[in-house]
Amino acid sequence: MKVVIAGYYGFGNAGDEAVLAAMVADLRRECPSVRPVVLSADPRRTARALQVEAVPRLSLAAFRRALKGAALFISGGGTLLQDATGWGSVPYYGGQMLAARRLGVPVLAYAQGIGPLRQSWSRRLAARALAGAAMVTVRDAASLALARELGVHPSRLHLTADPVFSLAFHSTGRGDPSPGVHRFLDGLPPGPLVGVALRPHPGARRPGPWAGRGLSPPAVLEATALRVAEALRPLLASWGARVLPLPLHGPVDGPVLARLAGSLGRRAVPWPDGLPPQDLSPADWLALFSRLDLCVTMRLHGLIFAACAGVPFVALGIDPKLEAHVAELGLAPQDVAVSWPWPAGPAPAELRERVQQVCRRREAVRAKLQAAAAALAARAQDAARRAAAVMEGRGL
């Protein structure tokens, strides 16, 4: 039974690749006869990693061929219907959903994070795309509320969870860590380890608030790295701890993490040669996060990997999906999150205090994360169950 899957796949983003791996594994559990066809920026890599058929994501001809005879078109998971990173996402992903419907293929939005949608035209297009879906599943309560605002009928709208929660709790589909990651972990010095996942601001490639303040995007990245380093440096010294930079999207995150590591000197663990971040599997990333004592993250899947490993975290930045998932885990934003007026960067004193606060309560936070992540793993599987029901023509 053929199902076509579209999202931000094939770009080497660890979070999105883990989402795809989890979706494929969950769909195979629910429907062993499923035959996934993935739209990917790197079809060879995607096909090899997941044993699926993969086609170029920008080829209209390949898209139409893939849909021929498909039982379902899946949009997601991930944050696809949003206009924070530019104007192209909603037309691209929403257009795919509308095209699939015109070709007679049922559409399901799979554990999507919806929004932000700041422009009236993007809200209208997203609403139109979702209106044609046989079912809409979303990964967090904030996306559920926005989908309701956009007019999705309650009978077709369901709250699930990010698929990576499911992957972390099911060995099938996740695989084992690679020998390279095992060697790296075995070679780490003893002592506490703080993982740090930094990224550019989601809108950093567009004209933004820094334009009128004489700040270029590189200067913004440097300010972020230096302020995070300033916040952590005295804590690392007092704990005898080191920082492990976590390039969850290597080419994008590399510059800001390199600046952080340079500022911390010997307190930063060098990323190993011969271990390209884009080649790491979800099992590799979960193994790395399991070695951490604390995580400071600007990336959503840094937060999710940490939660799945039971590692206390501090969410850093103004991305609304971070706050949404802090809430999904049952934590209070004022306890585990730090935001700041863009583009100045986080206040070091505030970040340092938040890290200390989380560390003081780390056992209670760890227990809460483990229980919440397990509950979200069960909820995540529901998206695959509903997808299988649509494919097979069953009602739910």
Residue-level pLDDT, tens digit, the chain, 396 residues: 999 999 999 999 999 999 999 999 999 999 999 999 999 999 999 999 999 999 999 999 999 999 999 999 999 989 999 998 888 999 999 999 999 999 999 999 999 999 999 999 999 999 999 999 999 999 999 999 999 999 999 999 999 999 999 988 876 667 789 999 999 999 998 999 999 999 986 555 444 444 434 444 677 788 889 999 999 999 999 999 999 999 999 999 999 999 999 999 999 999 998 899 999 999 999 999 999 999 999 999 999 999 999 999 999 987 889 999 999 999 999 889 998 766 667 889 999 999 999 999 999 999 999 999 999 999 999 999 999 999 988 655
Whether residue 76 lies inside any domain: the answer is: yes
Residues 258 and 272 in one domain: yes
Q: Which two tokens stand for residue 351?
A: 């970040």
Residues 309 and 273 in one domain: yes
Q: Report CA torsion sign: 219, 222, 228, 233.
A: negative
Q: Which two tokens stand for residue 60?
A: 């209209």
Give pLDDT, residue 158.
98
Residues 218 and 356 in one domain: yes
What residues make up the domain containing 69? 2-173+377-391
How many Å is the maximal CA-CA distance in the chain? Answer: 62
Instruction: Tell me whether the omega of the peptide bond preceding residue 343 falls within 30 degrees of 0, making it cis.
Output: yes
Whether residue 100 lies inside any domain: the answer is: yes
Residues 216 and 360 in one domain: yes
Residues 211 and 165 in one domain: no
- Closest to 381 (Cα-Cα) out of 23, 14, 12: 23
**Rounded distance between C-alpha atoms, residue 34 and residue 171, angstroms:** 19
Give pLDDT, residue 213.
40
DSSP class per residue in 266-295: GGBPPPPTT--GGG--HHHHHHHHHT-SEE
Whether residue 307 lies inside any domain: the answer is: yes
Whether residue 126 lies inside any domain: the answer is: yes
**Rounded distance between C-alpha atoms, residue 268 and residue 260, angstroms:** 8
Residues 68 and 184 in one domain: no
Residues 197 and 334 in one domain: yes
- Closest to 76 (Cα-Cα) out of 116, 54, 107, 48: 107
Give pLDDT, residue 86.
82
Residues 384 and 367 in one domain: no
Residues 286 and 202 in one domain: yes
DSSP class per residue in 147-184: HHHTT--GGGEEE---HHHHHHT-STTT----HHHHHH
Q: Residue 102: how many CB atoms within 10 A of its CB?
A: 10
**Rounded distance between C-alpha atoms, residue 309 and residue 160, angstroms:** 20
Whether residue 27 lies inside any domain: the answer is: yes
Residues 71 and 166 in one domain: yes
101 contacts: CB under 8 Å, gap ≥ 6: 107, 132
Please state the domain count of the chain. Answer: 2
Q: Do 334 and 213 meet the contact criterion of CB atoms below 8 Å apart? A: no
**Rounded distance between C-alpha atoms, residue 218 and residue 232, angstroms:** 21
State the CATH number of the domain containing residue 55.
Answer: 3.40.50.2000
Whether residue 187 lies inside any domain: the answer is: yes
Whether residue 396 lies inside any domain: the answer is: no
Question: What count of Cα atoms within 13 Å lies in the side-chain half-sphere of residue 52?
Answer: 32
- One-letter amino acid of 115: G
Residues 320 and 383 in one domain: no
88 contacts: CB under 8 Å, gap ≥ 6: none
71 has which bridge partners? none
306 contacts: CB under 8 Å, gap ≥ 6: 195, 289, 292, 295, 297, 312, 313, 369
Whether residue 300 lies inside any domain: the answer is: yes
Residues 317 and 233 in one domain: yes
